[in-house]
Structures are given as C-alpha cells and as structure tokens.
Amino acid sequence: MLDNHFKKEEFKKSVKENVKMLYRKTIEEASQEQIFQAVSLAVKDVIIDNWLLTQKQYEKDDPKIVYYLSMEFLMGRALGNNLINLCAYNEVKEALDELGFDLNVIEDQEPDPALGNGGLGRLAACFLDSLATLGYCAYGCGIRYHYGLFKQKIENGFQVEVPDNWLKDGYPFELRRPEYAKEVKFGGYVKVEYDPATGRNNFVQEGYQSVLAIPYDMPIVGYNNKIVNTLRIWDAQAISEFQLDLFDKGDYRKAVEQENLAKNICDVLYPNDNHYAGKELRLKQQYFFISASIQAAIEKFKKSHSDLHDLPKKVTFQLNDTHPTMTVAELMRILLDEEGMTWEEAWEITTHTCAYTNHTIMAEALEKWPIELFSKLLPRIYQIIEEINRRFIQEINNKYPGNQEKVRKMAIIYDGQVKMAHLAIAGGYSVNGVARLHTEILKKQELKDFYEMYPNKFNNKTNGITQRRFLLHGNPLLADWVTDHIGDGWITDLAQLSKLKVYADDKRAQQEFMNIKYQNKVRLAKYIMENNGIEVDPRSIFDVQVKRLHEYKRQLMNILHVMYLYNQIKEHPEMDFYPRTFIFGAKAAAGYVRAKLTIKLINAVADVVNNDKSINGKLKVVFIENYRVSNAEMIFAAADVSEQISTASKEASGTGNMKFMLNGAVTIGTMDGANVEIVEEVGQENAFIFGLSSDEVINYENHGGYDPMQYFNNDPDIRNVLMQLINGTYSNGDFELFRDIYDSLLNTKSSDRADTYFILADFKAYAEAQKRVEAAYKDEAGWAKKALLNTACSGKFTSDRTIQQYVDEIWHLDKVTIEN
C-alpha cells in the first residue's frame, strides 16, 4: 500500500529540501549521516499527519487508554521499522537508489536508541508496536536517558564500557513538548493542616526541591493502519532555568540545589539486567517519571471526563515490573491531596487502575528500599505507603488472625524496608507472569502467600515478539519467501504461518528455506569479518547464544562445552565432527565481575581455538562485540541453533528464544520459561531438550542436596575442563585469571553454595544434546524440515497475541480504526 505522501518524486524532493534546510548543502555534498537526518525528517513528516489523525480519532471515540509504565524501552532503530510499518520500505529504497544512496547504509547511520537493558525493555518495545498495529490507544511512559546502555568494546578479550551518547547529533524522531511540562517534588517535609471547612486534615509538602519534567514524544507507527501512538519519555530540567520567578523568587541557594538535582536525574540508564542496585538516584528516577506520567494522565482524563470515579473504566496503568510501583502511591496522593477524596474512594479507584507484571524470580532483582532513604526523598509518598501498609496488615490479620508469620512475609514495610512487589500486588487488580511455567512458579513458590490471599488477581501472559521487526525487517529474504507461499497475512496474523507446515517435507521448499538461511549466514559472516576480523565458514553450524550475560543464563556452560569439544577433537583428530561456529553476544553489567570474567573466558577460548591450525577450522568461537537490537536482527536470521540453556526455573520467559524460532533456528534448551511452550508448539522431535526440570532444581534448592564435587571426581571430562581453568591453558600460563570461575563451580573458598546454577549437574546432558544436534544437522533434509517447522509453528509467539490477551483479560481496551 503506497501512501499518497510517498510518491517517489515528492519524497526525493523533500529529502533534497531537508538537506538544504538543515545543512545548507546539496545532496551530493551531504554525508551519509546527514542524509539519514534528512530522510528521517521526510518520513517524520508523513508520520505526523497520521499522528494528528490518530489523535483526532481518539478524541472522537474516547477509547480506554493503557499507560505502559516502564523504566526501559529498548526500541532499536526507528527509520527502517517506521518505513516497514508505513508500507513504504521498498518505495523509499528505490527513491534513495535513484538519488544514489543505499537505504541499508542510511539505516546504519541511526544510533540504536538503547534505553533499556534486555528482556523487559525489549518486550515493552514489542508491545508498543503491537498496540499500535492492533489499534489500541496506548502510551509508553519512560525516561529520556541522555546515555543509554553503554556500548561494549572488547579490548584484549575484556569488556570495556563506552558511554552511549545517542543524542549527540540530535534524534530526528523525537518531538519536544515543553508545553506539557510537569513539576515533580522531592524532599522537604509534610505539614498537616486542619481544614475546618471540610473537617479533614490537609497534607502539604513544604521545603521541597522541584524538578521540571519535560516530555519528548516519539511516534509509534502501527502497521498499515494509519495509527500512530506515542512513547513519551521525560527529561529533567531545573525549574530555575525555566521559570524561577514563578516558583521561588530570588532564592539563589535553592535554585542551585534544584539545578543540581535536575542535572543528573536523566543522565544514565542503570546497566543492570535482572538485578537491583539500591541507589538513591535510581529511586529519584522512578518517582520522577512516575509522578510526571501520572499527573499528565490524570490531567488528560479530566479534560474530557467529569468524574474521577470513572478512571478505572477509562485508564489502566500497567507496571512493567516493580520499577514503576510508585504509581500506586502517586495516584493515591493526587486523589487524596489534590482531588480531596476520602481514603476509601481513592483506594477503590487506585486498586482498579493499576496492574503489575512480574518479570523475574531472581532474588537479587527484588526491589527493597531502606525506609530512611525513601522517607527522606519522598516524605508524602512514604506516608501514604505507611497507611497502605497499616491497612494491608489489618487485612492480613483479619484473614489469618494471630498469624505473625504471614505479616512478616507479606507486609509492604518490614525490617526497615519498603518492598515494592508487595505494594504492587496489594495496590493493583492484576498480577501476571510472562510464561506459563513462570506464572505457576509465582503462584506456588515466590508469591504463594499473595496467591492464597488474592487468587483472582493472578494470571499468565506468555510473552511475544513483533514479527514486523524480527522477520519482515530483519530477514527480508525469508519474509518474501513466506509471503510467496502463504500470502502476506502473517504480517498482522502470525498464526497463518502454520500454513507453511504443508511444505515441511517438500524438497524444493526445504532447499529454498535452507538456501535463504545460507545467504543470511553469509551476511553475518561478512559482518563478523568486518567487526571481529574472524573468518567463519557459512557452511558450518551457526550455534548462537545472544542475550545479557548472567550466571543463570549459563553462557559459562556453553563455553565449558566448547572447551570439552576442543579437547575431544584434539584427542581424537580422526573423529567425525561437523564444523561448528559458536557465536556469543552479551553485555555484562558494568559491576558484575564474574559475568565480565566469563566474557574474557569466551574470548580466551576463542583465541586458542580459532588459532589452532591442527583442528582444520572445525571449531570456531566468535564473540560479537556490542550485541544490540540492530545487529540482533541479523544474527537471528542467520542462526541454525538457538541456545536457551538457563537453569530451569530461572528464566521467566525469554523472548530471544522466540525470535530464533521465527527465523527457523532449532532450539537446544532446558524446560524453562517459554521454552516449554515452544516445544509444545513445534514438537519434542524438533527441538533438543535436556537437563534438570524446574521442579528438580527447586527441590534441590529447598533441600540443599546438590554436590558438584561428585561430578568433578567421577567424570574425567568435566575434571579436565575445570582444571584447564586454573592451569593456564587459556590464560598464557596464568593460573589465577579464571580461578574465580573455577571456585564458583566447586566452592573451594567462597561462602555461597557451589555451582548455584547447576552447570556441572547439567553438563553431560547438555553435551549429549549437542551430539544429537550434530547428528540431526548431518541429515540435511531432516534438519531443513525441523528448521522450517520451527518457523511454521512460531505463530503463537507474536506480541500481537500477547497484547490481545492483555486487552481481553486485563485492560479491556476499545479497538480504534482511523476513518477516511
């Protein structure tokens, strides 16, 4: 569908015009980056027309709105995706061709907006795409970090973090909206004033410091439906810069303090994935964007509705993990202090407007804020949480009279800490996990007491991914092939991929499918050559593990297995071994020492293995630097084997697993997270499953009954590999470099449990599953069938399905279509 605005000649003219206006240059003189800016502005021009149309339609229809509140939105590049969703990608490619530019090169000029760490942030981005495509009124609300997730450089095998100054050249797809600025207050104290007129106490925050929150809007383009939703990210600005006279005339000291407060709030994204760092600045970030977002939402609601009691009918606040849980207290504050409601009224509204998604059961990710820190920074909010807690404990006592254990386990404030998950559960009407197994573990283990108390709040929403980015944009060859075979309905209805099943045994289809895979492997091999200087053979098996580096994800098990294979090949040079390229990509949190050491180990093994001529290139190890959304698209397209090998019970869902599957990679994995459902869709015979079950892991954990030493002592292969960590094999003779990893597996000195993630327990099962992979790959037709069936059976894992379930079961939004 060619939009009128994308008439080729007009578009070319507009690009030229933009180059002139922006840079006083002709198109021949402009750099590729300048062309990117000019093209983006031309595209934004079209988007803005649809943005206005959408707004008009929303004003007319008055649909219910979901605010997706998230500290992270890992959007990835916008230009290509916007063109895809405007159905103008090919037209623009042609237009640029005629101007002498390559769209791919232009796309590569865009910084990769990395305002997120990993799973939870990328999920938010996929959800926004699906919400717009399905025609639901949704706002993403977040923070405009000046520095996104760091860029990763590998130096001498070690990760080095480089700041990501993504706004350096200006970002063409954002729109600053200073007219919608909001004031956010920190610190001070709460003054209680009796109001004889109402007979109630008024709570007034005084002596506080203010920061101004300035919204920047980014368009979220729906696929082929003219809908454009909004991602609103807030930036901080000192009030003194803006309108000092209005707020505190002449108070210089305060002005400077406020300026300092504002300066660093939005500086940088905390680089932790699945891990909580209890820093004051992080708490400030949380309240900053929540207060601004909730104020704006209430203001918007009041513009067209007279009664705030109707809020739950028209608005849902979805909390992306506990980071935005402040929403509960901020909404209470507005309803109580600014709207003059009673506690009961305000609580009734709040608990029917907020809903919470849990994304992890990792204990170190649980947010618990020290009371002192919290109450000092947010005195009124803390007061409100205290009252919520008092009433909640009363409720527990009513239900379980005399049961102090329940209070201890469930209270929102306990042991000097504010527990955000407990607040999110008590303060909302829905609690969901992100895959069936994960939700069951929440109900039976982690949140058992809460489930017992509020069984009806709990529900599952298995994650999904957007096929528009991860197939249509990321893998154009396969996308075209699919469309040739089953039409293009899959772009908005991924279940239609099941029509491909009839081709599973079709020789020609198999060949075409594998030929496309091969071409994508060539594309990745080229990227690896250019970026890593390593030559890889596209005919080898591309075995890929890309995701954040975390012990529970067990990149360590993968690289230990590579060490094991290398030993095997060295010992038995005559052995029949199918060439394999192990590809890794992962950022480690800057302060996560063991994760960073694991990166070094991977690179150290790569160094030795890749340079050993005696193995004839049978094994290659590649660590792709700076894994991020843009190169991920290319990596998924090129993978044969998808490594999803977390310790069972630890990976809430995973979404990379779905992106691989969609692109025809076969999973080797544990029965964890959404892997369980992937296997259910594609069949046991089309995946390679191994290892302890989540029940077994949890059982071990509850009874402390696992002894890694037993594997070390009884299995010479394992012992050999482990000894190589401390005998200098991969460290030029340095016995100490990898000792921490060795110790973590056997616990020769540390005080925590040994091998917390059951690597040795699962190692042999993993190696055996890898043998099955190899055997299966040798059977060309058999593998083609498996790969094709993975694509054909991936329909369930679209975020369109996930979002429709959120809509049907939690949000109850109204569908909107743009008339005309």
Catalytic residue IDs? 359, 547-548, 553, 655, 659
Chain centroid to CA 158: how far?
24
Q: Which residues contact 155 (CB under 8 A, 6 or more apart)?
A: none
Chain centroid to CA 324: how far?
15
DSSP 84-146: HHTT-HHHHHHHHHHHT--HHHHHTTS----BS-SHHHHHHHHHHHHHHHHT--EEEEEE--S
CA dihedral sign of residues 82, 87, 93, 94: negative
Residue 349 near residue 297 (C-beta atoms within 8 A): no
Q: In angstroms, how far apart are the furthest CA atoms of the chain?
A: 94
Burial class (CB in 10 A: 0-12, 13-18, 19+), 810: buried
Closer by beta carbon to ligand 6GP, 447 or else 479? 447
Q: How far is the CB of 270 from ligand 6GP (least distance, A)?
A: 10
Q: How far is the CB of 417 from ligand 6GP (least distance, A)?
A: 18
Q: How far is the CB of 1 from ligand 6GP (least distance, A)?
A: 32
Closer by beta carbon to ligand 6GP, 367 or else 755? 367
- Structure token pair of residue 411: 């209270």
State which H helix or E strand residue 394 sits in.
helix 379-399
Closer by beta carbon to ligand 6GP, 379 or else 464? 464
The tokens 């979901």 sit on which residue?
Answer: 66
Listed residue (153, 145, 80, 81) closest to 115, CA to CA: 145
Q: How far is the CB of 359 from ligand 6GP (least distance, A)?
A: 4
State which H helix or E strand residue 585 sits in.
strand 580-585
- For residue 2, what is the DSSP state? -
Closer by beta carbon to ligand 6GP, 321 or else 633? 321
Q: How far is the CB of 547 from ligand 6GP (least distance, A)?
A: 9
Q: How far is the CB of 628 from ligand 6GP (least distance, A)?
A: 15
| Phi-psi region at 769: left, alpha or beta (left = phi > 0; alpha = psi -120 to 50) | alpha
- For residue 150, what is the DSSP state? P
Torsion angle of the four alpha carbons 664, 668, 669, 671, in this order, in degrees rounded to the nearest 10: 80
Closer by beta carbon to ligand 6GP, 133 or else 360? 360
Q: How far is the CB of 464 from ligand 6GP (least distance, A)?
A: 10
* Residue whose C-beta lies closest to ligand 6GP: 119
Residues near ligand 6GP (CB under 6 A):
118-120, 123, 273-274, 321, 359-360, 365, 434, 463, 651-655, 673
Closer by beta carbon to ligand 6GP, 73 or else 481? 73
Closer by beta carbon to ligand 6GP, 222 or else 271? 271
Closer by beta carbon to ligand 6GP, 182 or else 438? 438
Chain centroid to CA 159: how far?
21
Closer by beta carbon to ligand 6GP, 113 or else 119? 119
Give the three-state DSSP class for 3.
coil
For residue 235, list its beta bridge partners.
Answer: 214
Long-range CB pairs of 440-443 (<8 Å, 24+ gap) are: 441/361, 441/649, 441/694, 441/698, 442/358, 442/361
Chain centroid to CA 340: how far?
38
Q: How far is the CB of 755 from ligand 6GP (least distance, A)?
A: 21
Q: Say which amino acid occupies 81.
A: N
Q: How far is the CB of 269 from ligand 6GP (least distance, A)?
A: 12
